[in-house]
Chains A and B, each alone.
Chain A
Amino acid sequence: METARETGVPAQPSSDSGYVAVTFVDTGETYRCQKRVGLLESMRRLGVSGIPVGCRSGGCSVCKIEVLSGSYQQFRPMSREYVTEEDLAAGRVLACCIHPLEDLTVRAIGKLGRIIARQCSNEAR
Chain B
Amino acid sequence: MALNGVLRPGHAQIRVLNLEEDLKFYRDVLGLEEMGRDDGGRVYLKAWDERDHHSVVLRQADKGGLDLFGFKVDSPATLDKLEADLQAFGVKTERVPAGEMLGTGERVRFEIPTGHLIELYAEKKDVGNGMPYENPAPWHPAAERGIAPTRLDHALLGGVDLDGSLDIFTKVLGFFIVEILYAEDGKTVVAVWLSCSTKTHDIALIRLPEQGKLHHVSFWLDNWDRVLRAADIMSMNDVPVDIGPTRHGITRGATIYAFDRSGNRFETFSGGYIAYPDMKPLVWSIDHLPEGLDYAQRKLHQTFLTVFS
Contact = CB atoms under 8 A, between A and B. Distances in A.
Given A56-B240, A57-B263, A59-B17, A79 B306 contact: no
B303 A54 contact: yes
Contacts of A57: 17, 64, 240, 259-263
Interface of A: 52-60, 62, 76-82, 111-112
Interface string B1-41: 00000000000000001100000000000000000000000
B62 A55 contact: no
A60 B62 contact: no
B235 interface: no
A91 to B, nearest CB: 20
A58 B65 CA distance: 12
A29 B49 CA distance: 51
Given A57-B260, A57-B263, A59-B263, A79 B63 contact: yes
A59 B22 CA distance: 13
Nearest to B209: A111
A73 B263 CA distance: 20
B135 interface: no
Interface residues on B, range: 20 to 34
Interface of A is mostly: loop
Contact of A79 (B242, B259, B263, B307): B263
29 contacts: A53-B303, A54-B263, A54-B306, A55-B64, A55-B259, A55-B265, A55-B307, A55-B309, A56-B263, A57-B17, A57-B64, A57-B260, A57-B261, A58-B17, A58-B263, A59-B17, A59-B63, A59-B259, A59-B262, A60-B64, A60-B307, A76-B17, A77-B62, A79-B17, A79-B309, A80-B62, A80-B63, A82-B63, A111-B306
Given A54-B307, A55-B309, A79-B64, A60 B263 contact: yes
Nearest to B261: A57
B270 interface: no
A94 to B, nearest CB: 9
Most buried by A among B65, B242, B303: B303
Given A55-B259, A56-B259, A60-B308, A79 B265 contact: no
B64 A59 contact: yes
B264 interface: yes
A62 B210 CA distance: 14
A98 to B, nearest CB: 15
A-B interface, 9 closest residue pairs, ranked by CB to CB distance from nearest: A59-B263, A55-B263, A59-B64, A56-B240, A81-B63, A77-B17, A80-B62, A54-B307, A55-B259
Interface string B259-281: 11111110000000000000000
Interface string B57-74: 000001111000000000
A87 to B, nearest CB: 13
Nearest to A40: B240
Nearest to A81: B63
Contacts of B306: 54, 62, 111-112
Contact of B307 (A62, A76, A78): A62
A38 to B, nearest CB: 11
Contacts of B307: 54-55, 60, 62
Nearest to A97: B17
Contacts of A55: 64, 240, 242, 259, 263-265, 307, 309
A82 B65 CA distance: 12
Most buried by A among B18, B64, B302: B64
Given A76-B17, A79-B64, 20 more contacts: A54-B263, A54-B303, A55-B259, A55-B264, A55-B309, A56-B240, A57-B260, A58-B64, A59-B63, A59-B259, A59-B309, A60-B64, A60-B263, A77-B17, A77-B18, A78-B17, A79-B17, A79-B263, A111-B306, A112-B306
